[in-house]
Structure 1
């Protein structure tokens, strides 16, 4: 549309502005017509390639050329150049500069017509000259609207980038959760099974088949336990809600500990995320107790407080000697990460005072 209007003004000027020739006043009119046409065509230059200072100089020269064309021409549509250049002043320049230059355009063109500096201007009122700067207001309005649209688009793009970043963070968080679950199920279970199989292999050399059978049975028992843990993991990944008290009881029984769960407070259904993470903490604690303190007594307490749920697992020292390798520490890290995601606190370490001195205790407090 802009190019079409620009070409229309230039064509109208070429057909109507007189005199136009190769000598005298006609040559001056032709030269000014070319300058005005060039100033008008320059509207198509990208803003990024023309500085504000260069735009002020170019548009100021355009105003002088438009006023001069009105002064030397005898008839035609020379005043159209002033109108269109003024409109572009409002669009291209900042508001203050645009208003100053548009006012100058009106006064200059109005003065040309008022003082009748050129031939044939008795047909045009000097008021027409004063109105040549008014299109700048339309240019300012157009520029303001375009800037608002650009700002809205930039805000939308920024919001989209933020949404993508949030989605990526959620994906990474979910991956971390799955990694913790896989570690809880596989790392400890396979380590325990491998330890029993190595023990059975070592006992074969002694010929003690009874102990070999015992180690083999223990490995089979741990495989069954691993399958149960895998089922719990599938439930957690599917966000299925498991009954907290019943599942803790089943965990203790499958690990060989009976009647060691104490429940305090009014039992209630807690949110699924809290249930899943408390079960994982219990699973990790029981696995560590079986690995590092075999034969030791295990006591579990679940407290439903007014604004939190508290799970405490304490195990006594081992009653038999078992050689284990150095752990990766991922289990305790996973516990702390789970509790931190829920805004709770966790303490995991040896009891250093009181009647349970020497025990290992894990205590998780999850707010609701």
Structure 2
């Protein structure tokens, strides 16, 4: 987004109205002390002052009209500067100051140069008509140059102030986008956490209910089916407990140590599915793992075990935690588990957030899932 599009154009500063009122007051005060010898000079002074006031108050709405009026007022004042006690220099100075403040993006300082050239020529005409010395001419030029420089400085200040406002607005928009991105990332993390818990618990629950249904329909084994229903009830209660634990983790509660958490997960899976799960730990943890890394690796192991129970029921599973070149958790089950769902994709996203990777695929006659964080 371009800076110019962030805020509306503002050709004159907020203090412009006050400044213009003050300069008009100063011009009136100085002109009130004028005592020109020729009466016609009063007509020029009054006309130039009215033109100056109109041009000054059109600066915010009609820049080019204001420029033309202010230039006319400055030239008119410069033409009668040579008249004794005309005090018309004040009209030239305030008009040139306002011209210098005006901003013309397409023409830069060309309007100021053009107006200054016309005023310098008008000074020369006035010096020739009213027989003023060269020193007088250069004095008028000096005063005009000083006020033009003041106006240009004021314009630069306004440009910088406006750019600062635009930069602040851009910063505010960037912060807003950052907050939105953070919210989306948090929503994704919560979705992954809920999937970890629900997929594991509901998957195990589904398996137990299928077995119970098969026992009833095929064998009429009421006792066996009842045992499976009781297991299903325990799984439902356990799933609720895990859901509460996930909420506690989202609230930044302490995360259990990875080896203990994997051991509990393996024991739970073995108990729920009647499948042998062998857990091994290779190497020693060199430093404490970040909670995000532990949660990501534990989630990957849970998802792999859920897939193993779903696609290769009854087959033994090997879980290995290795502290070599970082930390790696691998889950191997007998029988190829084909296909990938949202679970493994979610694990990849979670591991990517902590600088890790996840691979899943056939390894001979086995299915191997490896989650690693360097």
TM-score > 0.5 by shorter chain = yes
Matched, 1:165 2:182: no
Tell me what 1:321 maps to: none
Alignment counterpart, residue 336 of structure 1, candidates 326, 348, 351: 348
Aligned length: 344
CA-CA distance at 1:65 after TM superposition = 1.9
Distance 1:9 1:252 in 2: 89
**Residue of structure 1 equivalent to 2:81:** 70
TM-score, normalising length: structure 1: 0.80
Q: Structure 2: which 5+ residue stretches go unaligned?
A: 1-17
Q: Any gaps of 5 or more consecutive residues in structure 1?
A: 319-325
Return the offset for 1:244. 0.6
Does 1:302 pair with 2:313?
no
Q: 1:231 to 1:300 in 2, by over 3 A?
A: farther
Shift of 1:103: 4.5
Q: Which residue of 2 aligns with 1:38?
A: 51
By how many angstroms is 1:177 displaced? 0.3
- Cα contact 1:18–1:26 (8 A) shared by 2: no
RMSD: 3.2
Distance 1:235 1:282, change over 3 A: farther
- Please tell me whether the aligned partners of residues 283 and 324 of structure 2 are also in contact (alpha carbons under 8 angstroms): yes
- Check conservation: 2:203, 2:306, Cα contact below 8 A: no
Please, which of 263, 266, 290 is the counterpart of residue 309 of structure 2?
Answer: 290
Distance 1:48 1:215 in 2: 83
**1:250-304 CA distance string (max 9 Å, x none):** 1101111666112112223211111111111111111222222221111011111
Describe how 1:1-368 pairs up with structure 2 within 5 A.
1-12=18-29, 15-17=32-34, 26=39, 29-30=42-43, 33-47=46-60, 49-51=62-64, 57-70=68-81, 75-93=85-103, 96-97=109-110, 100-101=113-114, 103-104=116-117, 107-108=120-121, 110-112=123-125, 114-117=127-130, 125-130=136-141, 131-197=143-209, 199-200=211-212, 203-204=215-216, 207-239=220-252, 240-256=254-270, 260-268=278-286, 269-306=288-325, 308-317=326-335, 329-351=341-363, 353=364, 357=365, 359-367=366-374
Relative contact order higher in (CA < 8 Å, ≥ 6 apart): 2
The 2-side partners of 1:87 and 1:167 are apart by: 45
Tell me the distance in 2 between the aligned counterparts of 1:125 and 1:197: 108
Deviations 1:153-202 (A, max 9, x none): 22222122112211111111011000111122124423442453465356
Query: Do the aligned residues in 2 keep the contact of 1:344 with 1:364 (CA within 8 Å)?
Result: yes
